Structure 1
Amino acid sequence: MSNSPQSQPQPLGTEPASVDGSQTLLHRGLGVGSIVFMVVAAAAPLAVVTANLPLVISASGSTAAPLYFLMATVILVLFSVGFTAMSKYVPNAGAFYSYIQAGLGPRMGIGAAALALGSYGVMLIGINAFLGVATSNLLMAFLNVDVPWWLCSLVALVSIGFLGYRDIELSSKVLGILLAAEALVVVVLNIAVVSQGGAAGLNVEPLSVSAFSTGTPSLGLMFAFFSFIGFEATAVFRNEAKDPDRTVPRATYIAVVSIGLFYAISSWAVIEGLGVGRAVDKATTDPENLIMNLAEWYVSPILTDIIQVLLVTSIFACVLSFHNVLTRYQFTLAVKGLLPKSLAMVDQKHLTPSKSSLTFSLISLTATAIIAVLGWDPFKQIYTWFSGAATLGLIALMAMTSFAVIVFFRKKECTRSAWRAVIAPGLSLIGLTAILILVIGNFSLLVGSASTAIVLGGLLSATFVAGVVGAEVMKRTRPDRYEALTRASQ
């Protein structure tokens, strides 16, 4: 029977929680719903529908967006099969790092850890810049108050740092409320479009082979795939789950399937609302106001105002979720001796990795302040560059993880079926590799220019290489610690 949040928390296996080598105690109250709220909030469904869906339609030149989302869902469900099968054998919260190390060894694992920290870190900073812009625009629109974007971003980071420091259940409750609100407004719009028969009568043309074969399906699938980033973080909360061997797999499947179906249904409703024959033109000519216009046409101008407010809360929830993910990543790496041991400290009142949370709050605040001083454009530069780079890094990590699952189960004697140990991970590896190739081939499109793509691609590669080199240095200077990592991966 699982402990309740009020009962004594369970230890994290044999991992030390602090510098004195004692066992780590974290809050053990997260159930399936709480984890799902946090990882789905990271996907920011309202922000995806309002900002990314028009891009999917315009970039592909097609109305097959529902099919692109369904295809991405299938690839990620296949990824989840091996991902969750392996979670039973990797009893810590390192997610990508832990799985890649278990399958491919400490060098690749530490390289993956460096790439994951860098990718999630720049993703958070980029999205927080977007949050600052959205908040500043909202204050001007409703209160006629001109507040600089960077001040809004800094205030948001302080609020997120407060929530991240406290009991993880507080974050999950906040995220649950915000997620429910943003999902509800999209559902209201969907129902309004369907009940009124769309622009020219409802049909299934967006789900047809002819729609899929129109335009550039590869770009549509690529941009649709970006909308799922964050779901894979379910394993990061393993150490705070009530029953991790059951909670993490269930939360992973629920998160990816619910996100996928939500996007597929919503994209179909949006296309029907615009009119199948006019959707691509409208998404291309006025992507910023596409969803706002639909809300006004089919519901009321009041819904447009509500969407503007909830877009800000949606992005806030996304940043909070990534903050919690990064905090747990740093904590796990510190427990393993790959980061300073002080980051493995646990607050005795809230049972959270408090020092890790405070440290990353300071990092993100400093980075945002520096960017503001440099005068970089918060959307065209910070958000575009950082989110594009993070997406490339995270997709590469997912592909590596699928490969690591296959290698791990080939080395380890266990009762896992061929479907979970080889076939599903193999199919996901093929799909993820195809997506990765698409992203690399179109990276300059994602980040704005070829020169920026070269710089960011080089930095991502350097981050991974730095982790591999660090592993080699550890092997030579701290062989005992390196040997412990090697044993843990066997």
Structure 2
Amino acid sequence: MAVEQLTTPSTHSPPRQGIGVSHIVFFVIAASAPLTVAAGGNPQAFAVTGAVGYPLAFLVLTAVLIVFSGGYAAMSRHVTNAGAFYSYVAQGLGRSLGVGTSFVALVSYNAMQIGIYGLFGFTAADLFKSQFGLELPWWAYVLACIAAVGVLGYRRIDLNAKVLAVLLVIETAAVVVFDAAQFLNPGPQGVSATPLSWHALTTGAVGAAFCFAMAGFMGFESGAIYGEECRNPRRTIPRATYAAVILMGVFYAVSAWALAVGAGPGHVVGAAQEHGPGLFFALGEQRLGSAFGDIANIFFLTSLLAAILSFHNAVARYSFALGREHVLPVALGAVHPRHSSPHLSSLAQTGLAGLTVVVFAVAGLDPLATLFTWLTNLGALGVIFLLTVVSAAVIGFFARNKRGEGLWSRVLAPVLGGIALGAVFLTALINFDVLLGTAKDSAVTWSLPCVLLAAGTAGVVFGCFLKSRRPHVYTGIGHGAEGGTQLSDGVTAEAQV
């Protein structure tokens, strides 16, 4: 039987775009939304976990992710694919597992991006009501945001990078000013190193503390997604990954420490339970005046916009990679002839986000307690699982061919990183009810992780189907960038297997 030949539309070969290390770092850090972590995540972590030593969790995870990145960055030097995790697992553990991974990634990144819309809608509605007396439903602001993100996602990636750079600088400046104010004018206990001690961390719910801290790093792994759009992916992706991990880890640890210093280590848990996210703004206003609270609230909104845009771009590129290889509808693998963007994948993600928000709005569900909390925790759990699986994929990939990489990158880093990340995943799963704020036997607590299980299982089964019924498609799984259909100059990449 003749093997069907896959055709490559000419629109799959646009000019290479010139994004470098700094651009990718902006995408990665913007996805974690620094002001959102500082103002929203940190107070919530203190309140829920009761761990005064929560800032130390960021530093511990920084070390873990640096170790993980030893293998991850090494593999990125040999595999350049917009599918990132999908292609890594396909080439390291097998194509069917790669498809299963891609389905989990699509669910996870979509959940993260769409979930953040819930917090955006809640924050925008509250801000415009308090500042301008304008009362509109939360979903009206979200739909407007979806439209804006859709327009940006449709256009060139370098335009997105410029927008994210501006937003990231603004929100980072707000957090730096807040941190400096707390250390220069500390709370009743002065500048104390207690929040950085292991004892202070373990006196609370340490497992949940690591889960909250891990959520702050969401997006660090997405640098590889932009490999096909880099000037020199073999050097750019590893450098951007290490830079993002170190910058985020240190920055978030200092910000959490500043929050504890401002309230006082002995009072921060109680203050966080009383004020919630408002603690950041309250402490800021105490030391910097009421104007800081007003400005920071606006920056908080732009921080969410930056995170949404960054995740939108990641999802669009995953869909593009799967469409290019005919795992998803081939139209999703098209590239805009002028903007050099995966425009149809971007439109598909925009449509899915809009539909999901409409469903939640019609059902009358709370945007913060359901849309945001359910979906972002689902997404974070999925990404932690993906990191663990990729660690195993790195070992499998280099087991067949060392490709000039050392023992640390090929074996030691992925083994140590995989063990540590596996422990974080199990901890997150065990503490999922704490993260959701639901009962342990609640249907939501167990059904959300089952969504990831169902997605992964469906992907593996579909991969097996492709192997038996569509071998011409199965053969290309995880190898899209090698076939000349990349987000670059249309020149086939160097053979990577």
TM-score normalised by the chain length of structure 2: 0.92
- Write the distance in 2 (CA, Å) between the matches of 1:18 and 1:153: 39
8 Å CA contact 2:24–2:240 kept in 1: the answer is: yes
Q: Which letter maps to 1:375?
A: G
**Which amino acid is the alignment partner of residue 199 of structure 2?**
S
Q: 1:164-204 deviations in whole A, cap 9, x for unaligned?
A: 11111111111111111111011011111222244332121
* Structure 1 position 467 matched with structure 2 position 459: yes
SS in 2 for 1:420: helix
Partner of 1:200, secondary structure, is coil
Cα displacement string for residues 29-50 of structure 1 (whole angstroms, at most 9, x for unaligned residues): 1111111111100001101111
CA contact under 8 A between 1:26 and 1:346: conserved in structure 2? no
Structure 2 CA distance for aligned equivalents of residues 26 and 302 of structure 1: 46
Residue 17 of structure 1 contacts residue 344 of structure 1 at CA under 8 Å; is this kept in 2? Answer: no
Are the counterparts in 2 of residues 18 and 24 from structure 1 also a CA contact under 8 Å? no
Superimposed CA distance per residue, residues 80-114 of structure 1 (whole angstroms, 9 cap, x where no aligned partner):
11111001221212111111111100011000001
Q: Contact between 1:19 and 1:344, CA under 8 Å: does it hold in 2? A: no
Q: Distance in 2 between matches of 1:170 and 1:28?
A: 11
Is contact 1:105-1:486 (8 Å) kept?
no
TM-score by length of 1: 0.93
Task: Provide the residue aligned with 1:355 in structure 2.
Answer: 344
Query: Is residue 477 from structure 1 mapped to residue 461 from structure 2 by the alignment?
Result: no
Give the letter for the 1:133 counterpart. Answer: F
* Cα deviation 1:290-335 (Å, max 9, x = unaligned): 1011101111111011111011100011001111111111111111
Change (3 A) 1:296 1:375: same
Partner residue of 1:95 out of 81, 84, 90: 84
Unaligned runs of 5+ in 2: 483-495
For each residue in 1:98-138, what CA deviation from the matched residue of structure 2 results, as whole angstroms up to 9, or x when unmatched?
11111100011000001100111121111112111111111
- 1:205 corresponds to 2:197: no
Amino acid in the other structure paired with 1:463: A
Cα distance in 1 between the residues matched to 2:269 and 2:174: 23
2:413 counterpart residue number: 424
Report if the CA contact (8 A) 2:218-2:380 is conserved. yes
Query: What is the aligned counterpart of 2:281 among 277, 285, 292?
Result: 292
Output one character per residue of 1:232-289: Cα deviation in whole Å (capped at 9) or x when no partner. 1101111111111111111111111101110011111111111111112111222131
Cα displacement (A) at 1:20 = 3.1
- Deviation at residue 56 of structure 1 after TM alignment: 2.0
CA contact (8 A) 1:26 1:352 kept: no
Q: What is residue 132 of structure 2 aligned with on the other side? A: 143
* 2:206 matched residue in structure 1: 217
CA displacement at 1:22 relative to structure 2: 7.2
Q: Mapping of 1:380-419 within 5 angstroms?
A: 380-419=369-408
Counterparts in 2 of 1:17 and 1:454: CA distance versus 1, 3 Å: same
- Distance in structure 1 (CA, Å) of the matches to 2:153 and 2:172: 23
Distance 1:27 1:77 in 2: 29
Kindly tell me the number of residue pairs found equivalent between the two proteins: 475
Q: How does 1:323-334 map to 2 (within 5 A)?
A: 323-334=312-323
Match for 1:54 among 39, 43, 51?
Answer: 43
How big is each residue's C-alpha offset from its partner over 1:412-454, in whole Å with a ceiling of 9 and x where there is no partner? 2322111111111111111101101111111222233421022
Output one character per residue of 1:122-163: Cα deviation in whole Å (capped at 9) or x when no partner.
Answer: 211111121111111111011000011111100000000001
Distance 1:483 1:173 in 2: 38
Distance change (3 Å), C-alpha of 1:486 and 1:69: closer
Would the aligned equivalents of 1:17 and 1:345 in 2 still touch at CA under 8 Å? no
Number of the residue aligned with 1:178: 167
Render the CA deviation track for 1:49-76: whole Å, top value 9, x for unaligned: 1111012222332221221110111111
**How far apart are the structure 2 equivalents of 1:364 and 1:383?**
13
Q: Alpha carbon RMSD of aligned pairs, Å?
A: 1.8
Secondary structure of the 2:191 match is coil
Residue number in structure 2 paired with 1:227: 216
Specify the SS of the correspondent of 1:163: helix
Question: How far has the Cα of 1:17 moved from its partner?
Answer: 11
- Residue 452 of structure 1 corresponds to 444
Closer, same or farther: CA 413–370 of 1 in aligned 2, 3 Å: same
Q: Identity of paired residues, percent?
A: 37
Task: Look up the SS of the partner of 2:13 in the other structure.
Answer: strand
SS in 1 for 2:373: helix
Aligned ranges 1:36-185 → 2 under 5 Å: 36-185=25-174
Shift of 1:26: 5.1
AA in 1 matched with 2:76: S
Moved more, 112-121 or 449-458: 449-458
Q: Tell me, what secondary structure is at the counterpart of 1:183? A: helix
Native 8 Å contact 1:57 1:280 kept in 2: yes
Aligned residues of 2:333 and 2:342 also touching (Cα < 8 A): yes
1:485 aligned counterpart, secondary structure: coil
- Mapped contact 2:41–2:212 kept (Cα < 8 A): yes
**Contact in 2 for aligned 1:346/1:354 (Cα 8 Å):** yes
Tell me how far apart the structure 2 counterparts of residues 123 and 145 of structure 1 sit (CA, whole Å). Answer: 28
**1:183-332 map, 5 Å:** 183-332=172-321
1:235 partner letter: A
Q: Aligned-pair distance for 1:486?
A: 8.1
Secondary structure of 1:25's aligned partner = coil
Q: Secondary structure at the match of 1:484?
A: coil
Conserved 8 A contact 2:11-2:337: no
Distance 2:315 2:202 in 1: 40
Q: Which runs of 5+ in 1 are unaligned?
A: 1-15
What's the offset of the Cα at 1:210?
2.9
In 2 relative to 1, CA 343–441 (structure 1 residues): closer, same or farther, beyond 3 Å? same
Hey, what's the Cα distance between the residues in 1 that align with 2:276 and 2:230?
40
* Contact 1:193 1:269 survives alignment (8 Å): yes
Q: Distance in 2 between matches of 1:339 and 1:218?
A: 37
